[in-house]
Structure 1
Amino acid sequence: MQRLSPPTGILHGTEHLFALRVYYEDTDLSGIAYHANYLRWFERARSDLLRLLGVDQRAAAEDGTGTYAVSELSIRYLAPARLDDAVLVRTRTLQSGAASVRLIQQAWLQLDAGTGDADDRMLAEAQVRVGFVGPGGRPVRQPAGWRAAFQSFIAPEVSP
């Protein structure tokens, strides 16, 4: 039997793209995605981004180097996702410091081209700060290679 790989996102320029589908378990009684699921979707996308950047979270946790932990999160909900919707999570790095990384994550409804509605719609947007913490839970410097990976992933600022 052929082995299937888990779904994974892609790096596209200075963005990470992670596609998912809204399942029954993601919804409330009205068929609308429950608000907390956006946090799960954003977490999955961040984990996949780290994997694609060459960050081995599991090894770092097991060898006592440390782990990333969300230290700040602000989310704005703009429109509901519904059962069976295709959602695209877009992640960009805003800033990478010695012990933390600031990201922006957006969930977009991917509309079916057959509907005549050509524009996707943003469902939610989150500003996230993740800090790198040592085994004792205190902030520590993230490994130099990891910081460099995030630095290379920051979109250049556009001048007006």
Structure 2
Amino acid sequence: MAGKGHRFSYRIPLFEVDMGQAVYHGNYFHLFELAREQLLRDLGFGYPELVARQIHLAVVEAHCRYRQPVRYDDQIDIITVIPSLKSRGVQFQQQLFLTATRKLATEVRLTTISIDFSGKPVPLPPELRQKLVVFID
């Protein structure tokens, strides 16, 4: 992944793993969501600001590729970049690396759309767009 990315570090808790002792496949989306929330928070435009404006970033498309398992107590880094930024939507590309080995474990590409609380697509706040430009890949 080229370009400037946002880094989120995390240690895998026990509740994220399945009976096979690896992160359950659906739980990777929790981890990627934590990283996106932290990116917005670090930009000074977290979800509380979106909610105050009655806006939500709804995921409309997701593609995830699992390369190797992540296990309980693994330290991970998630790098997030933005391949595409439009007036009403943001595409996020995220890669999850095992910190100890720097190996790519999982990657996801998500397309989100800005919607109001009634479900109608609305433009992203201009202030948020300006801050997200930094992470365009």
TM-score of the two chains, using structure 2 as the length reference: 0.91
Aligned with residue 85 of structure 1, among 58, 74, 77: 74
**Partner AA of 1:85 in structure 2:** D
**Is 1:134–2:116 an aligned residue pair?**
yes
Higher strand share: 2
Paired residues of 1:95 and 1:151 also in contact (CA < 8 A)? no
Out of 119-128 and 54-63, give the one that drifted further. Answer: 54-63
Deviation at 1:57, TM superposition (A): 2.2
**Partner AA of 1:62 in structure 2:** A
Partner of 2:106: 124
Q: Structure 2: 5+ residue runs without aligned partners? A: none
Q: Which has the higher Rg, Structure 1 or Structure 2?
A: 1
**Is 1:99–2:81 an aligned residue pair?**
no
Query: What secondary structure, in the 3-state scheme, does the structure 1 residue paired with 2:60 have?
Result: strand
Deviation at 1:154, TM superposition (A): 1.2
Query: What secondary structure, in the 3-state scheme, does the structure 2 residue paired with 1:106 have?
Result: strand
Listed as ranges, the matches of 1:133-152 within 5 Å are 133-152=115-134
Query: Alpha carbons of 1:79 and 1:56: their partners in 2 closer, same or farther (altered >3 Å)?
Result: closer
Out of 89-98 and 29-38, give the one that drifted further. Answer: 29-38
Paired residues of 1:45 and 1:89 also in contact (CA < 8 A)? yes
Q: Which portions of structure 1, spanning 4 or more consecutive aligned residues, are displaced by more than 4 angstroms?
A: none
Paired residues of 2:92 and 2:111 also in contact (CA < 8 A)? yes
CA distance in 1, matches of 2:50, 2:106: 31
Q: Point out which structure has higher relative CO (alpha carbons under 8 A, 6+ apart).
A: 2
Paired residues of 2:37 and 2:46 also in contact (CA < 8 A)? no
CA distance in 2, matches of 1:122, 1:47: 21
RMSD of aligned residue pairs (Cα, Å): 1.4
1:101-157 CA deviation, whole Å, 9 max, x = no partner?
A: 11100111112xxxxxxx5111111001111101211111011111111123213xx
What is the total number of aligned residue pairs between the two structures?
135
Q: Structure 1: 5+ residue runs without aligned partners? A: 1-12, 112-118, 156-160
CA distance in 2, matches of 1:149, 1:29: 41
Paired residues of 1:104 and 1:125 also in contact (CA < 8 A)? yes
